[in-house]
Amino acid sequence: MFILDHLWIIIALPLLGAAINGLLGKNFSKPIVNSVGIGSIALAFLSYVEAVREFSQLSADQIPVTKSYFTWITAGQFKVDFSLQVDQLTIVMLGVVTFVSLLVHVYSTGYMAHEEGYYRFFSYLNLFVFFMLTLVLAANVVLMFVGWEGVGLCSYLLIGFWFLKQSAISAGKKAFITTRIGDFAFTVGILLLFWTFNSVDFAAIFKQAANLQPEAFAPTGVLTAICLLLFSGAIGKSAQLPLYVWLPDAMEGPTPVSALIHAATMVTAGVYMVARMNPLFSRAPFAMFVVALVGALTAFLAATIGLVQTDIKKVLAYSTVSQLGYMFLGLGVGAYASGVFHLMTHAFFKGLLFLAAGSVIHAMGGDQEMPHMGGLRNKIPITFWCMFIATFAIAGIPGFAGFFSKDEILEAARSGPNANIWLWLLGLVGAGLTSFYMFRLIFLTFFGKPRYDEHKVHVHESPYNMTVPLILLAILSTVGGWVAAPHLVGRTDYFEKFLHPVFATYAPAIAEGAPEAMETPGMMLLHALTGWPVLIALAGLLVAWWFYIKSPQTPKKLAESLRAPYTLLLHKYYVDELYNAAIIQPLLWISTNVLWHVVDETVIDGTVNGVARVARESGSELREIQSGNARSYATWVVIGAVGVTVLMIGLWGMVR
C-alpha cells in the first residue's frame, strides 16, 4: 500500500519536474530538459500503475481511500485539509491524465524541437499535469478548486506560449477571462456548498446529501442552485454554450498543448467535476435537465460550425466542443458512466487527432489551412493511418472506441432513466454532422491532388518520437472501447461495473421500471449495429465522400445556393461579435467612464489626496510645537501631568 498511503508522490513528481525545469532549465541542454520533463511524468505514470495494482487488492469497503496530510485552512468551523482520495473514478481519470500527458511529452520533444524557451514549455506542461492531478485527486472541493484554477493558469501560459504573437496573447487572455466567468459561479457554488453542508469534504457532503431527502431542499431549491452554479463552472472550463468561444482561439497555442489540455484533459475537468458531484446532481432533476440540454445544444451547434471551418485545428476544436457536449448530454440523462467512458475514449482519439494534425502541420511546415493540403496520404502514411483510425473512432463507426461510448450516451438519451427524445434527436443529428466534417477533414487533407506548391513545401514524415505516440493512441482508439462491448448484448459492460460504486453509493432510490420486452442478445447486437447512430454516421461518411471526392464542386454550389446560413456558420453564428457588442463594449464604456473617471479619479484619489493634504497642513501647523526648546516640552509634560491629576482627583474622585 505504498503509493496509496503516499498519494502525494503522484502529485509531487510533476511539480518537482516543473520546478527543476522552470528554475534551472535555462542552462540545461535539451536532453536534460527532456529527461527531467518526461522522467517525472513517466515516474508519475509508473506510480499510477502501482497504485492501480494496490487498488485492485482493496476490498469494497476500503474504497474510497482518503488520506489527509495536513490541515491547510482553519477558520472557525471552516476547515480544509490537504487531503487526497482515490476511488474508481479517480483511477480512470488518473490513467487518462498520466498516460496521455506522457505521450504528449514524448511527442513534444519532436514537435517543439526547434522552438525558443524549450525548457519553459516543458516546465509549463509539468506544472499543468501537477494541477490536473491535484484536481483529480482532491478529496474536497476547495483543493479541487485549486487544481481547477491551476490548470486554467497553465492553459493561459501555454496558449500564450509564443508570447511574441499578438493573436496568441489575446487568445490566452480570452481563454482565461472567459473561463473566469464560469469560475466565479463555481466559487459561489463552493461557498453555497459549505453554507449548506458545513463541510467541503466530498464524503461528508455526499453522506448528508444521501441522508437528506430531496424534499428537504425542494422549497429552497438550494441544491439545484448549487448544482447550476457548479455546472456554470463546468460550462466555462469545458467550453459549453455559451462560453465555448475561447476554445477555438486557444488553438493559437502549440499543437501538443491543444492535444493535451484542450482536448484530452483540462476541458474534461468539468465533466469529471459533474460526475464527481453526481450525488448532488442526481437530487436536482432540473439541474440535470439543464446539463443535458446545454450538452445537446452544444454538441449540435458546435458540429454545425465545424462543418465549414477550413483551419484543420479549428475543425478539431469545434469537434472537441461538440464531443464535450455529448459527454454532458450523457451525464445529464443520468448515464454518468457513459459520460466518463466517452471522456476516456475521447481523450484517446481526440488527442490522437490533434497530435496527428500537429504532425500534418509539421509536415506542411506550419500551414494549417486545409484548402492548401490534399493528397498527403502517401507522403505521410503513418500519420494518415493514425488519423484515419481516429476519424473512424470519433465518427462512431462500429468497432472503434467512439462507437461504444457515443452509442451508450445516445442510448441513454433515448431510453435512459430520464430520457428526452428531443435531446436524443439533437445528439443524433450532431453525430451525423460529426462524421461528415471529420471525413471532410480527412478527404481534404489526405485525398485528392496536392493543392500546395511542391517546390516550396517539402512534405516529410515526422520523426519517431512523434509517430510512436500516434501509433499507441491509435491502438487505444481502436480497442479502447471494447471494455464496453457487453453492453451491446444487453449485459452491463465492465467499465460501468467498475465505476458502479461511485455512482451507485449515494444514488437516490428510484423505482426501477421493469425493462420492457427483453430481446435476445443476437437481436440486440443487430439493433445496436444497425441502430440510428451507425446509420447516420455512415450517412455522414457517404455525404462527405460525395462532396469532396466524387464531385468537389458541389460544396461551392451549395454555399452559393445557401449563402445566408453558410456565412452564418462561417462566422460562427457571429457569437464573438455578439458578445463584443452585448458585453464587452458596455463593460469597457462603464469601466472607462464610470469606474475610472468618476469612482477612481474623484472618489478614491480624492479621498487619498484629501487625507494626505489634511495630514500635511495639520502637520505644518503642529510642527510649531516642535520648538526645539526642551523647557517647552517639559511644560507640556507638566500640562499632561496636571490633566491626569485633575482627572483622577476631580472626575474619578480617587481621593476618597
Do the bridges between strand 65-75 and strand 78-86 make them parallel or antiparallel, or are there none, so unpaired? antiparallel
Closest by CA to 267, choosing from 311, 313, 208, 327, is 327
Give the nearest distance from C-beta 624 to another protein in angstroms: 7
User: Minimum distance from CB of 640 to another protein (Å)?
Assistant: 10
The type of residue at 463 is: P
Cβ 611 to another protein, closest distance in Å?
A: 21
| 623 lies in the site for another protein, by CB under 8 A | yes
Alpha carbon distance 251, 267 (integer Å) = 13
Report in angstroms how near the CB of residue 163 gets to another protein at its nearest. Answer: 53
Nearer to another protein, 163 or 636 (CB): 636
Query: What's the one-letter identity of residue 634?
Result: A
Residue 629 CB, nearest approach to another protein (Å): 4
Stretch that binds another protein, among 328-336, 442-450, 560-568, 634-642 (CB under 8 A): 634-642
Q: How many residues bind another protein (CB under 8 A)?
A: 23
Which one of 49-57, 354-362, 554-562, 648-656 is the stretch in contact with another protein (CB under 8 A)? Answer: 648-656
Among 516, 624, 651, 652, binds another protein (CB under 8 A): 624
Using the rule CB under 8 A, which residue among 630, 647, 651, 652 binds another protein?
630
Residue 628 interacting with another protein (CB under 8 A) = yes
Shortest Å, Cβ 656 to another protein: 6
**Best CA proximity match to 309, nearest among 427, 402, 444:** 444
Interface with another protein in residues 23-42 (CB under 8 A): none
- Interaction of residue 57 with another protein, rule CB under 8 A: no
Please identify which residue in 59, 164, 631, 652 interacts with another protein, judged by CB under 8 A: 631
Q: Which of 59, 77, 553, 629 binds another protein (CB under 8 A)?
A: 629
Q: How near is the Cβ of 618 to another protein at its closest, in Å?
A: 13
Compare residues 598 and 634 and give the one whose CB is closer to another protein. 634
CB of 639 to another protein, least distance (A): 6
Among the listed residues 634, 647, 651, 652, the single contact to another protein using CB under 8 A? 634
**Least distance from another protein to the Cβ atom of residue 616, Å:** 13
Asked if residue 653 binds another protein (CB under 8 A), the reply is: no
Q: Is the separation of the CB atoms in 84 and 138 below 8 Å?
A: yes
Instruction: Please report where in the chains the cell 464535450 appears, as a residue.
Output: 324
- Residue 651 Cβ vs another protein, minimum distance, rounded to whole Å: 13
Binding segment (CB under 8 A) for another protein, from list 70-78, 394-402, 542-550, 632-640 = 632-640
Q: Are 13 and 46 in contact (CB under 8 A)?
A: no
Q: Please, are residues 348 and 386 in contact by the beta-carbon 8 Å criterion?
A: no
Stretch that binds another protein, among 19-27, 34-42, 446-454, 623-631 (CB under 8 A): 623-631
Report the alpha-carbon distance of residue 560 to residue 490 in Å, rounded. Answer: 47
CA 557 remoteness from chain centre: 38
* The residue to which cell 457588442 is assigned: 581
Among 167, 618, 627, 647, binds another protein (CB under 8 A): 627
Q: Which residues pair with 70 in a beta bridge?
A: 82
Q: How far apart are alpha carbons 178 and 167 in whole angstroms?
A: 16
74 binds another protein (CB under 8 A): no
Contact mark string toward another protein, 577..616, x via CB under 8 A? ----------------------------------------
How far apart are alpha carbons 337 and 331 in whole angstroms? 8
Contact 233, 287 (CB under 8 A): no
What per-residue string of b and e applies to 124-161 under the rule 16 or more CB within 10 Å gives b? bbbbbbbbbbbbbbbbbbbbbbbbbbbbbebbbbbbbb
Does 646 interact with another protein (rule: CB under 8 A)? yes
Return d(Cα 520, Cα 323) in angstroms, integer: 31
Pure H helices in 447-584: 464-479, 494-504, 521-529, 532-545, 554-561, 563-570, 575-579
Residue 651 found at the interface with another protein (CB under 8 A): no
CB of 133 to another protein, least distance (A): 56
Q: Which stretch binds another protein (CB under 8 A): 221-229, 318-326, 339-347, 618-626?
A: 618-626
Nearer to another protein, 510 or 634 (CB): 634
- Choose between 518 and 639: whose C-beta lies nearer to another protein: 639
Q: Residue 437 and residue 301: Cα distance in Å, rounded?
A: 13
Query: Smallest distance from the beta carbon of 614 to another protein, in angstroms?
Result: 18
271 sits in the region (left: phi over 0; alpha: psi -120 to 50; else beta) called alpha
Cβ closest to another protein, residue 549 vs residue 646: 646
Instruction: Find cell 463552472 and name the residue.
Output: 233
CA 113 – CA 118 distance, rounded (Å): 7
Answer yes or no whether residue 378 interacts with another protein by CB under 8 A. Answer: no
The nearest distance, CB 590 to another protein, in angstroms, is 47
**Closest of 30, 51, 31 to residue 98, by C-alpha:** 51
Rounded to a whole number of angstroms, the minimum distance from the CB of residue 652 to another protein is 12
Among 626, 647, 651, 652, contact with another protein (rule: CB under 8 A): 626
Count the Cβ atoms, other than its own, within 10 Å of residue 642: 10
Task: Please name the residue ranges forming H helices in 63-213.
Answer: 88-111, 118-137, 141-159, 166-197, 202-211
Distance between CA atoms of residues 350 and 259, nearest Å: 7
Rounded least distance, CB 654 to another protein, Å: 8
Applying CB under 8 A, among 73, 510, 584, 641 the residue interacting with another protein is 641
From the list 35, 422, 645, 647, which residue makes contact with another protein (rule: CB under 8 A)? 645
Residue from the set 114, 449, 456, 656 that interacts with another protein by CB under 8 A: 656
**Nearest alpha-carbon partner for 204 in 94, 80, 88:** 80
Candidate residues 71, 220, 520, 635; the one interacting with another protein per rule CB under 8 A? 635
Instruction: Compare residues 521 and 640 and give the one whose CB is closer to another protein.
Output: 640
CA distance 70 to 553: 66
Interaction between residue 647 and another protein (CB under 8 A): no
Whether 343 contacts 327, CB under 8 Å: yes
C-alpha cell at 399: 468497432
Residue 642 interacts with another protein (CB under 8 A): yes or no: yes
The residue with cell 509536415 is 363
Q: Residue 59 or 629: which CB sits closer to another protein?
A: 629
CA 568 centroid distance within chain: 27
> What's the rounded Cα separation, in Å, for the pair 434 and 440?
10
Binding span for another protein by CB under 8 A among 44-52, 167-175, 229-237, 621-629: 621-629
Rounded least distance, CB 171 to another protein, Å? 59
Task: Work out whether the CA dihedral 40, 100, 50, 137 comes out positive or negative.
Answer: positive
Determine phi and psi for 493, rounding to 5 degrees. -75, 165
In this structure, what C-alpha cell is assigned to residue 609? Answer: 489626496
Chain positions contacting another protein, by CB under 8 A: 623-624, 626-632, 634-636, 638-639, 641-642, 645-646, 648-649, 654-656
